[in-house]
Structure 1
Amino acid sequence: MTLSFSQIDPPSRLLMGAGPANVHPRILRAMAADVIGQMDPEMTAYMDETMALYREVFRTKNKQTLLVNGSARSAIEAALVSLVTPGMKVVIPRIGRFGLLLTEIVSRCGGVPCTIDVEWGQVVRPEQVEAAIIEHRPGLVAAVHGDTSTTTAQPLADIGAICRRHDVLFYVDATATLGGMEFETDAWGIDVATAGLQKCLGGPPGSAPITLSDRAVAAVLARRHDEAGIATGQPQGEGPVIHSNYFDLAMLMNYWSPARMNHHTEATSMLYASREAARIVVEEGVAARVERHTRAGRAMVAGLRAMGLQIYGDDATRMSNVTGVWVPEGVDNARVREQMRQDFEIEIVSSFGPLTGKIWRIGAMGVNAQKHKVLLTLGAFEAVLAGEGFKLPRGAGVDAAREAWG
């Protein structure tokens, strides 16, 4: 039997969920450029430029600012595999599903998770983190900045200061917030931060920026790196070996250094995408981009409230780029999402765990954090809810959003 499939022709859909978001056209054009050799001087120059651009995006002076080939989770795993040693205690503030993910990866690395759990939709207080550090004496604190499962953003600045005071490394997963919410790697005392392209950065999933402080680099290099050491003649660390080749940050840092020690074949098209995504952020200006996302989130919340809907979570700690809204009694969560997709080609999503089927999550990030896209989404949402029998003041959501945008 001969297989015959047609050329792919995905729908032109407005992705207003929790990510991925639509990809910026400039990034798609960059990805169409020719592939060149990984050691080509043009290619290595693009790598160096990408490192410089992401220092601006991460708001850091860290020399070791590079990419991990893979979705956002690849950089999370690279960070934890390279930092967590067997038996190391790791304090993990958990505000949603992705704190659970950090716990799982730490456990797989042989670490001992020491979790600080709060009700979903709440954040962990700095004094809770300090108490956990004093009690457990960990080697690392690992936190999620914006947990899209709860649309909640964990304040970080005080935690970073606490970690420095107790000489503990601080890792942050900024997948859902980098390029859309304020994020200050150096000012907040963050030692390692990771992200992905597919949310506020406006790119496709498949490449994951990461930045490491000198303290974090020293911790990674203190471990044995047999292949890297043999290849370079460099002395080996005395700590336990990193049980991953692909995610060994010592090898990756060597690959991105002037030495260019071959580790893997760089994902050329994704490098182009990553470089262009960061270039767009820097051109717009990090502060201006954060303000645009803030306005989009403010308009979305105002519109939803004007429709008579209840917003999930606390205004003080809500992510600006993803808004949770309670599903009204008697309204079918899945059917509303299906109608949004079928009638308007707009994607919104539900959530996970205790929030499964109870809230919708509506995002506005990257190229979608624009006034007209917020208004189109609210207008479609109003029409679908009215069709499902939910009583609401017609037109109020769009009017409120327009006013809130300013």
Structure 2
Amino acid sequence: MPSMFPVLDMPQRLLMGAGPCNVHPRVLRAMACDVIGQMDPEMTACMDETAELYRQVFCTKNRHTLLVDGTARAAIEAALVSLVTPGMKVLVLRIGRFGLLLTEIVERAGGIVCPVDVPWGEVVQVENVKAAIEEHEPSLLVTVHGDTSTTTAQPLQAIGELCKEHGILFYVDATATLGGMPLLVDAWNIDVATGGLQKCLGGPPGSAPITMSERAVKAIMARRHDEAGIRGTAPQGDGPVIRSNYFDLAMIINYWSAERINHHTEATSMLYAAREAAQIALEEGLDARFLRHRKAGAAVAAGIRAMGLEVYGDDALRMSNVTGVWVPEGCDANRVRTLLRTEFEIEIVSSFGPLTGKIWRIGAMGVNAAKHKILLTLAAFEAVLAGENVPVVRGAGIDAARAAWEAQQ
């Protein structure tokens, strides 16, 4: 009997949006390794190796550094449902769409959200954080490091110092920046940080690194429940039971510990991918990797401006790996994206909320934070815009991008 669908053969597209990016070939090869049992000594050794690699990626000595099986949002949700107790005051810094996501998850976990909002394209100033802490006296502060919806990066170091001073737990969603911008978990007093593979780490979506301080783990374990609790008898510990089973970090920590208390079947191929992505990042060197992403961001911005277009936002606040471009008046933003995809096999994206249809976002991260891929993208972008009768300076973008790449130190 013939199959209902043709053999799967996805296009070889250059992913220059806000993520995912193209996957490093070594990561794809790692994913092809044989699946073995989750309690096989070779498998548990791979888990231990992966944990050690991510300690280095997160710049931490945290013992509890591991993976949550699922996309980056899985680790975000695991962190928040495990930290937030009903009625807890949580200060949420909101610099874009993903700050609003943190708000929703905190509310679903029963927390009381104390928001600190800024106009999209801005970040929260440390004096406003200090004032909000004094006003609300929260137990937890949560923020996104780099919000791809607005292409802005929230400074973290001074906020970490405030949290330490006031005894507040500090959670950071570093999905879009881990492996591409500095994230010094220990030095910045971050208690919990989460990431994803599909952005600067150059892996596929589906595995989410997380690191937790001893202070955070103590708070999580205070809510711990064992098998008796799951069966409906009294939960163990002083606090309320964590509302999720799959995202219960107390249970996942025990799964990754020497005791290997079974929780779920580890996503074997994604573990291989995560291990290889971290290995590649550390072989390159974090400082060299951060520089490469800065070069990429500078090249994109310079090329866009030389073309005669306007870059969205403030250069001082922009993420290294995602650049916003204002859509010129009268230009059909979706048609430009479609032509880039259908004629050049290049993907760029729009944004969300108040920026929907108003900006394009061009990402250069992971293996795509490369000069030749940026030049190809800018050349194609220029050709499409010119074909749509948008006035651009032909050839200037390529020259400016090449110069900007070389100028970054």
Gaps of 5+ in 2: none
1:236 positional shift: 3.1
Using the size of structure 2 for normalisation, the TM-score is 0.97
Contact 2:350 2:359 in 1 (8 A): yes
Which residue of the partner structure matches residue 238 of structure 1?
238
Q: How does 1:149-160 map to 2 (within 5 A)?
A: 149-160=149-160
> 1:183, 1:27 → 2: CA distance?
22
Corresponding pairs, count: 403
Gaps of 5+ in 1: none
Q: How does 1:4-403 map to 2 (within 5 A)?
A: 4-227=4-227, 236-403=236-403
> 2:164, 2:181 → 1: CA distance?
23
User: Secondary structure of the equivalent of 1:182?
Assistant: coil
> 1:333, 1:182 → 2: CA distance?
33
> 1:196, 1:11 → 2: CA distance?
23
User: Secondary structure of the equivalent of 2:36?
Assistant: coil
> 1:229, 1:47 → 2: CA distance?
27
Q: 1:104-137 deviations in whole A, cap 9, x for unaligned?
A: 0000000001000100000001111111111111
Which aligned segments of 4 or more residues in structure 1 are displaced greater than 4 angstroms? 228-231
Matched letter for residue 330 of structure 2: G
> 1:228, 1:118 → 2: CA distance?
45
Matched letter for residue 4 of structure 1: M
1:393 positional shift: 1.3
Contact 1:228 1:251 in 2 (8 A): no
> 1:228, 1:356 → 2: CA distance?
49
> 1:377, 1:105 → 2: CA distance?
36
> 2:229, 2:290 → 1: CA distance?
42
1:226 positional shift: 3.0
1:252 positional shift: 0.3
1:224 positional shift: 3.3
Contact 2:90 2:111 in 1 (8 A): yes
> 2:134, 2:214 → 1: CA distance?
24
Name the % identity: 74
Contact 2:321 2:363 in 1 (8 A): yes
> 1:217, 1:309 → 2: CA distance?
48
1:386 positional shift: 0.4
- Structure 1 vs Structure 2 CA RMSD: 1.3
Cα distance change of structure 1 residues 349 and 31 upon mapping to structure 2, 3 Å threshold: same
Contact 1:85 1:240 in 2 (8 A): yes
1:3 positional shift: 5.7
Matched letter for residue 44 of structure 1: T
